[in-house]
Amino acid sequence: MPLLKSWVASANAPDTPFPLNNLPYGVFSVGHGALRCGVALGDQIIDATGLEAAGLLRADEDADVLGAPNWNDFMALGPAAWATYRTRLAGLLLEGVEQATQNAITAHLVPMAQVTLHLPLKVVEFTDFYAGKHHAKNVGTMFRGPENALPPNWQHIPIGYNGRASSVVVSGTQITRPCGQTKAPDADMPSFGPCKRLDIELEMGAIVGTPSQMGWPVSVAEADDMIFGYVLLNDWSARDIQAWEYQPLGPFQAKAFATSISPWIVTKAALEPFRISTPAREKDLLPYLHEPGPMLYDIDLAVTMAPADQPATTIARTNYKEMYYSAAQQLAHHTSSGCGMNTGDLLGSGTISGPEKHEGGSLLELTWGGKAPLTLKTGETRNFIEDGDTLTLTGAAKGEGYQIGFGTCTGTILPAVKTPDEGTKP
């Protein structure tokens, strides 16, 4: 699909992440004003709340769904409403529309440089998966050796765990270094203190738009229809805390302290030209996980690290197409027990790594457990994240003269706060 030209000139720049082909959904505020639903276009934000209030573009003729400080009510309308709204909005923004329409819409454009971005949705539940084969093999090799790298169930089932929706934050939110229990191999007792092996996990997040009924599994095709869109996701990880706590039930406090997502929800419609099949299976999947067509997306991803007040270094590049299980498969499996899904549920893909060393989606892989430190542009080295470091995830699907971008998913690490036995809450 070629670039769709808009009368909003900045949307036609080849380097913008937000051309008319994209139209991602977010939430913004200006100054101390109220939170409003918005759509990114070039260097502008279309005030969707304002368009609805003015009667210029409504998603529901009978109710205001964009007055809330998130897109949840809109998502609950379902795929037909999503498609109609997006088509009508694009029609108002296409190059060549009459001047009166341009004037009416211009009154509801806000320069992106003037806004603060917020979580685009109310996250109801958060589930994180372990569905990248290269990542699973790398981590398994480190801890169990190459012959036992993948657990016996891994090629049959999308492994996951239920996380914390309460600690999902928008890009730009500062992250406090977590504290927790760790145990040195030669110690008789564990100790409590700040994490010493703080890490990232480069992921994509799939957002559930329409719910499923408890007790009623859905197919992969139905699951794909339920997904509203995608965000970049960084599931911050305390590797030393995780190593002590995760057996036998898996991650807990090591993953509960923070998960960052990008501020713009990129819709499936925008990503449609970039669909790609999951990789060939070494072992057959059970029929309920079979895909009716391509369910992954060709999205280039990158990670940068910047020490405090220093330039950023790109430390990893990979692609979402490296995933072994698609979000639709993960969602279908999530419902297979009869688990009901909600509008606003968030599914983390699992760490996205490629086959080469520079394609690792975590510092655990990039430094091979801290044994091979990274060297940054500044000359500094890193095994894991230090206080003051800023980690930034970026991603874009590349089209003919345009790209479908997600904005950035960034966070700066603050020092640990006092431990529970040292002081009171803030």
Catalytic residues: 135
Q: How many residues does the chain have?
A: 426
Judge whether 314 and 144 are in contact, CB under 8 Å: no
Residue whose structure tokens are 């229809």: 225
Q: Comparing C-alpha atoms, which of 217, 124, 120, 136 is closest to residue 163?
A: 124
* 42: amino acid identity, one letter: G
Which structure tokens are listed for 283?
A: 């072992």
Bond prior to 415 in cis (omega within 30° of 0): no
Cα–Cα dist 147/132, whole Å: 18
List Cα–Cα distances, 391 to 152, 167, 205, 236, 371, in angstroms: 33, 17, 17, 10, 20
Cα–Cα dist 70/420, whole Å: 34
Three state DSSP letters for 29-86: EECCCCCEEEEEECCEEEEHHHHHHHCCCCCCCCCCCCCCCCCHHHHCCCHHHHHHHH
Which residues partner with 27 through β-bridges? 37, 118
Name the percent of the chain in helix, strand, coil, to the closest 5: 25, 30, 45
Which residues partner with 231 through β-bridges? 205
* 85: amino acid identity, one letter: Y
Q: For residue 147, how far is the Cα from the chain centroid?
A: 32
Judge whether 187 and 310 are in contact, CB under 8 Å: no
Using CB atoms within 10 Å of the CB of residue 380, give its burial: 0 to 12 exposed, 13 to 18 middle, 19+ buried.
Answer: middle
Cα–Cα dist 65/202, whole Å: 32
Cα–Cα dist 398/270, whole Å: 11
Question: Phi and psi at residue 237, in whole multiples of 5°?
Answer: -135, 130
DSSP 282: S
